[in-house]
Amino acid sequence: MGETAEPTVIMARDGAAGTLLMNRPRALNALDLPMIEALAAAIPTLRDDPAVALVILEGAGGKAFCAGGDVRRIRELALARDAAGIEAFFAGEYGVNAAIAGFGKPWISLIDGVCMGGGIGVSVHGSHRIVTEHALLAMPETAIALFPDVGTSFVLPRLPGALGPWLALTGARLRGAEAVEAGLATHFVKREKLPALRAALVAGDAGAVERLAEAVPPGTIAAQRPAIDRCFGHATLERIQAALAAENTEWAATQAAILARMSPTSMAVTLELLKRGATMDLAGCLAMELALTRSVTMHPDFAEGVRAVLVDKDNKPAWQPAPDAATVAAMFG
């Protein structure tokens, strides 16, 4: 007889804490539909348990918190024109994001490794996003012709200055303390202190986060902010590209080269998404994102982007031409 596979989400009660372990380490804990369904079932159980004072969310394996959603599977569904399967995945995932935002108790994510896309979604709506020096946060969706989702159409426009559009369009990777500087994470705690922090949290001491966290002084993000604001604070991609050209620095040239590799459709959709999200609440943003998945995942660029980056890994996508404003608006339904 074969061994029974471990569950991909392990829920437990440890002292005053409810613990959730995303346990798909070979896939860097990327969220598939069974994981999403398990999280959706666990959240109300922990929320309604009076013995649970707080939740600790972690990723197994030592390399990743959660590297995102299982977009390879979404591509398979898109190629099969399985709209219902795609809807089930995103509706379930966004439902989890909303439930975390409304959890009502401390939701403490210990981010020690890669945290992208869906990993941002299960952490950023909670009360505490704790990063170590080994954390790596990003929303890299434009590289695969998707868009920043999981409620980040609400979060990104509310970051300081033009950090949101910069992160959204380029998929810039924030390391450790940079994520606190940018506002995606709330606290920086060195990896060596995580066992002590976890023990204190299990004892019900949420205040241990403040005691063990280190102050994050102005660093890379602060140094780049003036240029980010000058270049990415514009409403259109053309004006952003013109500003980068006018900046005439190595940093600006790097940003321009990154944008040149991204899906033109995805970047146009992303700018419109952040513009709309800036005036909406989280529920409205999640509903907008869900509507947008229906058109974007069926656009040829999505299957092509996932192929180039994650399937064949040749990093040579053949993108469709940039859409006009009417086409972008139509994609929002």
> From the candidates 68, 118, 151, 171, which is the catalytic residue?
118
Q: Which entry of 93, 112, 141, 289 is annotated as an active-site residue? A: 141
- 314 classed as catalytic: no
Q: CA 213, 106, 186, 196: dihedral to nearest 10 degrees?
A: 20
Q: Measure Cα distances from 232 to 144, 148, 177, 239, 315 in Å.
A: 21, 16, 22, 9, 25
Catalytic residue, chosen from 93, 149, 272, 304, is 149
Q: At what angle do helices 163-170 and 250-261 cross, to 10 degrees?
A: 50
Pairing of strands 9-14, 54-59: unpaired
141 is a catalytic site residue:
yes
Q: What is the CA radius of gyration of the chain?
A: 20
Residues 83, 140: Cα–Cα separation, whole Å: 23
Q: What is the Cα–Cα distance from 283 to 114, expressed in whole angstroms?
A: 27
Q: Is 32 a catalytic residue?
A: no
Out of 18, 59, 68, 69, pick the active-site residue.
Answer: 69
Query: What is the Cβ-side half-sphere exposure of residue 148, based on CA atoms within 13 angstroms?
Result: 34
Could you tell me which of 159, 162, 118, 158 has the C-alpha nearest to residue 141?
118
Do 231 and 244 form a contact (C-beta atoms < 8 A)? Answer: yes
**Is-catalytic flag, 118?**
yes
Catalytic residues: 69, 118, 141, 149
